[in-house]
Amino acid sequence: MTDPTPLPVFITQRLVYAGPDAAGHDGLDRRWHDRAQRWGVRLVPLPNDPDAAEFALCHGTSSAGIILSGGGDLSGVPGGQTPDAVREQVERTGLDWARSLGRAVLGVCRGAQLLWRDAGGTLTAVTGHTSGTHALVPTADGTDAGVGPGVVNSFHAYRCTGEPEGLVTLAGAGDGTVEAFSSRAAREVGILWHPERPGNTVSLDLLLKRLFARKT
């Protein structure tokens, strides 16, 4: 018996400046593609060009959703890196597209922070989470959703604070920081670690297969 045909899922990219003229290049960790196959999806990278991204989204009605990838800081966070206004515009367009069609959204690290802040939460500087690993402790809701205990990598300089209406915490770190959450009303999940990078013993395969499989 063969596996079902994977569903296409958009993914945003970070902007990397390289070369003698410091030209901007769209960047996506190649390990993302292998990881996504475990969730039954194939990734379609979105370019960091608002017009090109909008064109792709408008013709992507078969897509099961979008992943807001990690890397870099959002605008408006205290002491953050210089924000990329073009990337944020593409992310907003992609998020609006998903919500208008009822498609799934996975926010990863920076992408999760975007979802948290968009729901009314705040981002506060945190120490001990910018490098290395830590334990992940699921809540009762997280256990029900398929999130198990284990260890995850950590590369974020900001923690999710406040209590945004409509979001449910799925897991936290030992120091109480929120590490995973979902939306009550929408098909949206946020995780603060990078599933494409090493250092994880927590599998989200079941949760994310369900997330992207529920197409409208």
Better-scored residue on pLDDT, 82 or 105: 105
DSSP code string of 59-117: T-TT--EEEE---S--TT-TTPPPP-HHHHHHHHHHHHHHHHHT-EEEEETHHHHHHHH
DSSP-assigned letters across all residues of 123-159: EEE-SS-SSSEEEEEE-HHHHHHTPPPEEEE---SEE
CA 136, CA 123: separation in Å to the nearest integer?
A: 20
Task: Give me the domains of the chain, ranges plus CATH numbers.
Answer: 7-213 (3.40.50.880)
The average pLDDT across 161-170 equals: 96
Tokens of 7: 């569903």
| Lookup result for tokens 């999940």 | 189
- 196 within 8 A of 31, measured Cβ to Cβ: yes
Contact 68, 107 (CB under 8 A): yes
The arithmetic mean of pLDDT across residues 72-88, rounded, is: 87
Q: pTM, whole model, 2 decimals? A: 0.94
Residues of the chain with pLDDT > 70: what percent? 97
CA distance 124 to 89: 23
Task: Select the more confidently predicted residue: 130 or 52.
Answer: 52
Q: How far apart are CA 23 and CA 18, in angstroms?
A: 6
Summarize pLDDT for 33-65 with one digit per residue, the tens. Answer: 999 999 999 999 999 999 999 999 999 989 999
Burial class of 42 by CB neighbour count within 10 A (0 to 12, 13 to 18, 19+): middle
